[in-house]
Amino acid sequence: MKTTFRRVVMGAVTAAVLLAPAAAQAQITRVSGADTKQSLTFHLGAFLPKGEDARADGDVLFTNLDSLLFDIKDFRGFSGGVEWAFALTNHVEVGADVSFYSKSVPSIYRSVVHEDTGAEIEQDLKLRLIPVTATVKFVPTGRDASIQPYVGVGAAFLNWRYTETGEFVDFSDDSIFRDSFAAKGTKVAPVVLGGVRFLANDAWTVGGEVRWHKATGDTGGIDEGFLADKIDLGGWTANFSFGFRF
């Protein structure tokens, strides 16, 4: 009986010794998520358009400041979207992203009011951006690291729409009229990005990212009711992200 018991114990110990490395490796693989190739990441943040001193020549918002009272900083607003990515290697990913931003900013004429009532002459200036972006990211620490800084480049198909709606002054005869003017289009914009993400477990990541893109749209100018021919669509986007790897 003692011999049988000893054999059973020795067999169990031997099996444990032989299986321990394999179990440990399986656990490391599960936690690191090295077997995952794809990810779906949701990001929430803000779009920060170029400031007054950095906007493109002929920009309609900068030109509007001569007659309308508003602040270009008022166009800072919420941005959100989702990104799908695929790992080509442990250090290189390709991805596709779609985001959405829309902000309406109230304005009034600087020095003109309704003559009969003294009321302000009001307008709403609205900008909408929907970037569809293809990116390549480099992750120097690899996708298995618990902390993963990364940089990347890409190109965005930037769908945009800009409108001015409300009351306006025709300075040729000082008449006041109500109207709505709209310009829209799609531009290809270069994108540069950088960020860091943290591997929460084998499936989930959280992190933050900053993106920059550059683009200028055509408004149509005076013929379409705008005071300038261009609108600067460039700026920065700062995001908080959370993702799922599979």
- Per-residue pLDDT, averaged over 150-172, amounts to 97
Q: Is the pLDDT of residue 199 over 60?
A: yes
Q: pLDDT > 90: what percent of the chain? A: 81
pLDDT at 152: 98
Question: Which is higher by pLDDT, 13 or 79?
Answer: 79
- Per-residue pLDDT, averaged over 25-32, amounts to 39
3-state SS, the chain, equals CHHHHHHHHHHHHHHHHHHHHHHHHHHHHHHHCCCCCEEEEEEEEEEEECCHHHCCCCEHHHHHCCCEECCHHHHCEEEEEEEEEEECCCCEEEEEEEEEEEEEEEEEEEEEECCCCCCEEEEEEEEEEEEEEEEEEECCCCCCCCEEEEEEEEEEEEEEEEEEEEEEEECCCCEEEEEEEEEEEEEEEEEEEEEEEEECCCCEEEEEEEEEECCEEECCHHHHCCCCCEEECCEEEEEEEEEEEC
pTM value is 0.83
pLDDT at 33: 53
pLDDT at 123: 98
